[in-house]
Every structure is written in C-alpha cells, then in structure tokens.
Amino acid sequence: MLKVEELNVYYGNIQALKGVSLEIHQGEIVTLIGANGAGKSTLLKAISGLLKPKQGSITYMDQPIGGKAAQTIVKQGISHVPEGRRVFANMTVEENLELGAFLRKDKDGIRQDFERVYELFPRLLERRKQLSGTLSGGEQQMLAMGRALMARPKLLLLDEPSMGLAPLLVKTIFRIIEEINQTGTTILLVEQNANMALSIANRAYVIETGRVVLSGTASELNESDQIKMAYLGGH
Ligand code: ATP
C-alpha cells in the first residue's frame, strides 16, 4: 500500500532522515519505535506532505506521492493526526469534525462518518457543542483522531496518541485504534510507549538518529533483547 525508499529529509542543514525505507501493507498496523528526536514525526510529515523529502521516493497505491501537497495526499486517502492534538480551540467539537471532511462532497457518506466517529468516541457526542479548547487532553486526542477519520482515510498516520494520557485512557485509545483498523483502515503508529504499540501492531520498525536500525514482526521485536533493553524497560 505504501512504500518508502531511501528517504532523505532535511531541516536546513540538519539531516533528520537518512535513507529510510519501509513498507506498509493494506490492513496492517505498523508501528515506528524510537527515542526522542529519532525522526519518527519527520517521517510521518514527509508521508502526509507537510515536509518535502530531498531524495528518495514515497509510493502510495502505486502512485508517487513524495513532495506532493498535503491536500492532494489527504484526497488520495492518507490522514495524519499530528503530535500534540492540534484541534481548533475556538471551534466546537462538531465544527472540528466537519473540517475533517472539508474535501468531501458525499453528504450521505459524511453523515455516516459522523455517526461512526460518535460511536467510536461517545464522549465526543456528549460534548459536540462544547468548544474544543475546553476539552481534556484525552478528549482532544479523541477529537483529533475523529477529525482525521472524517476524511475517510485508507491509511491513518498517528503520532504519539498516548502522550500525556492517564494509563486507563491509553488503554481506551489503543482499543479504539484496533477497532479503527478492524473496520478496514491501515495504520502507521508512532509511539514512545513501545509495549503498548507492539501489543497491537503486526510489524514494527525501530528508528535511531534518522535510520531504520531494526524491523520485524511485533512478536519478534517483543522477544529481541536489544529492544527489551532499549525500549521495553529491560524486562
Ligand atoms: P519525538 O518523539 O521527540 O517527537 P521524533 O522521533 O518524532 O521525536 P522528529 O521530531 O522527527 O523526532 O525530529 C528528528 C530530528 O529533526 C531531531 O533532531 C529534531 O531536532 C530535528 N527537527 C525536527 N523538527 C525540526 C525543525 N522544524 N527544525 C529543525 N530541526 C528539526
């Protein structure tokens, strides 16, 4: 579904991605694991068109998408939930969700997706008229995910959905990610919480200082001593 080959991305003179290659197959949950600053968010931004790669290719459904405008990429079926859940604080929950569908014209489909998002996140239904800036951190995360789903993506890019959330809420968010996947959406998940990420993923890539240093099935990586020491708390 998505193939990234030998990708190099720079911020000015700083090279954040150094020849990254990876593949995502339809229906999978793939997770990217790595320390702060490893380049995980940069990779998601390059895929969703927020950053232009300097070299390398990104192919989605057999089409090159590297360097295309973010709007074009959303239209092709890739949605990105950025780190830090940027919702529009002065707009209501419902207005934020509407914005997620702004490139669509299929009114019936949009209505169905509103229902689907409210089913996945009943909390958002209760608070649909509330200003988003007054939502809790967890609710804002739900809204950011809900807004991305309103574009009806085939591939959903999630950047640190568990960040700053209480453990119980982290569990809920991960359960919902699995549910979204089971209804046909492929997922690329960036997480610091490697334990949780590997528990729901099919496969994983480990990124260190801009390079993929290890990849495999989630169970292989769960068993790897290197991963246990570096990312799973050494257990
Ligand atoms: P984190 O989990 O901390 O977000 P990450 O793996 O997502 O880490 P990135 O945000 O992709 O890491 O950052 C990769 C590298 O690029 C880091 O060294 C970072 O300092 C650098 N970087 C990121 N954004 C910029 C920017 N706007 N300008 C300059 N350098 C940047």
157/232 same-domain check = yes
Which residues have C-beta within 8 Å of that of residue 177, sequence separation ≥ 6?
Answer: 29, 158, 161, 187, 189, 200
CATH number at residue 211: 3.40.50.300
Considering 120, 152, 184, which residue would you say is the last residue of a domain?
Answer: 152
Considering 113, 128, 152, which residue would you say is the last residue of a domain?
Answer: 152
Q: In this predicted model, what pLDDT tens digit does every residue of 69-99 receive, in sequence order?
A: 999 999 999 999 998 878 999 999 999 999 9
> Which ligand 1 atom lies nearest to the CA of residue 83?
4
136/202 same-domain check = no
Q: Is the CB of residue 45 below 6 angstroms from any atom belonging to ligand 1?
A: no
| 234 vs 86: CA distance, rounded Å | 33
What H or E segment, with its residue span, contains residue 153? Answer: none
Q: Is the pTM of this model over 0.95?
A: no
pLDDT the model gives residue 86: 83
Q: Whose CA is nearest to atom 9 of ligand 1?
A: 39
Considering 152, 170, 197, which residue would you say is the last residue of a domain?
Answer: 152
146/174 same-domain check = no
| 29 vs 198: CA distance, rounded Å | 10
125/231 same-domain check = no
Task: Indicate the residue type of 168.
Answer: L
CA of 228 to the centre of ligand 1 (A): 24
Q: Is the CB of residue 42 below 6 angstroms from any atom belonging to ligand 1?
A: yes
58/157 same-domain check = yes
Task: Write out the residue range of the structural domain in which residue 206 sits.
Answer: 14-77+153-235
130/71 same-domain check = no
58/104 same-domain check = no
pLDDT above 90: percentage of residues in the chain: 82
34/95 same-domain check = no
Model-level ipTM above the cut of 0.90? yes
**Burial letters for 22-34: b for 16+ Cβ neighbours within 10 Å, e otherwise?**
bebeeebbbbbbb
Q: Are 61 and 153 in contact (CB under 8 A)?
A: no
73/159 same-domain check = yes
In a domain, 83, yes or no: no
Please give the tally of structural domains in the chain: 2
